[in-house]
Amino acid sequence: MIDTVKLLSLAVATPDNIILQSEAAETAGRLFSERFQDFKYLARVFESTGIRKRHVARPLSWFEQPHGWQDRMAAYVEVATELFRRTAIGALQRAGIEAHQVDCIVTVSSTGVVTPSLEARLAGELGFRCDIERVPIFGLGCAAGVSGLAIASKMARSRPGAVVLFVSIELCSLAFRLDELTRPNIIATALFGDGAAACVLRAGDGGIAEIESTGEHLFPDSLGIMGWKIDDTGFGIVLEQSLPVFAETHVRAAIEGILDRAGLSLSDVDRFICHPGGARVLAALESALGLEPGSLDIEREVIGDYGNMSSPTVLFVLERAIAAGLPERSALVAMGPGFTASCITLKRVA
């Protein structure tokens, strides 16, 4: 019998700087209202998102000044390294595993570029072995919390007993732009925050939940829905207004296909654990998946407390779902650039 991959532990962390949504709205008004004629109309998004506060890489005053690639990536290296340290140590301690026992590290991030990669920078300090395998992944965006976890689970499944550390880190706030007088940039200032999460996986006994199945669906002709445009200043958000409509129209068939390949159906899932991309996206997912309005309650709690942190956000939701008690079978769902839907089913370990 082949050992199944188990989720042994999960830890999350955020930067220390906190921005209240009211502060973000006031600051954005000062910075954009005189220069962007549609700002008054768009400013309503600061209330409609349901976000109360966010954690960000730098104090609010930092974002009121212009910054280029060098400033942004210096901030990324500093803060992402610290979040990697905190989440990795936390997840390993919760799993009762020492750093030298880790055989592979899968790291996902789409909001900063650093070479050598984060796990290499911390290898000596944290005590990882010299023969550890490193798999840094860039470009999966919001879907990476699920897609990256799926990749990590496959690494664990290929060698039963091997310990795989999965780390998801995003510093979305470093993409806030003073020079981008566009609807997507204004929405970004109201929606995105920063955070990180880490999981320990191993094929064998024990754990919190079994990684039962994984799958993705890449939608044709959808490259413009979400992503980055890159220029001399840094990343610039690409975000289509039609995303909630797209989700409500297309996600159900994609998730049904993923589940069907695993011999499952929507009715086999007791709880969907979704990436909370925004209030309208959550409502669209509830409609698409046939859920009662408001049933994605933990998702709304997380986005209210942290905003959309991109890839780690769904893992923040998973942490709270674990604390509340996982049902027999749950499904992690996230969407991201590509445009992609990603899904993992989890079975509770008795």
Catalytic positions are 142
CA distance 166 to 82: 16
Torsion of CA 223, 189, 109, 200, to 10 degrees: -120
CA distance 253 to 275: 18
Q: What is the 3-state secondary structure of 185-223?
A: HHHHHHHECEEEEEEEEEECCCCCEEEEEEEEEECCCCC
CA distance 106 to 115: 15
Sequence-separated contacts (24+) of 156-161 with Cβ below 8 Å: 156/5, 156/104, 156/201, 156/202, 156/203, 157/2, 157/4, 157/5, 157/203, 157/211, 159/103, 159/203, 160/2, 160/3, 160/203, 160/204, 161/3, 161/202, 161/203, 161/204
Residue 310's SS3 state is: coil
List beta partners, residue 44: none
Name the one residue in this structure whose structure tokens are 């754990």: 207
Alpha carbon of 184 to those of 26, 175, 243, 285, 311: distances in Å?
18, 12, 12, 21, 19
Q: Is 248 left (phi over 0), alpha (psi -120 to 50) or beta?
A: alpha
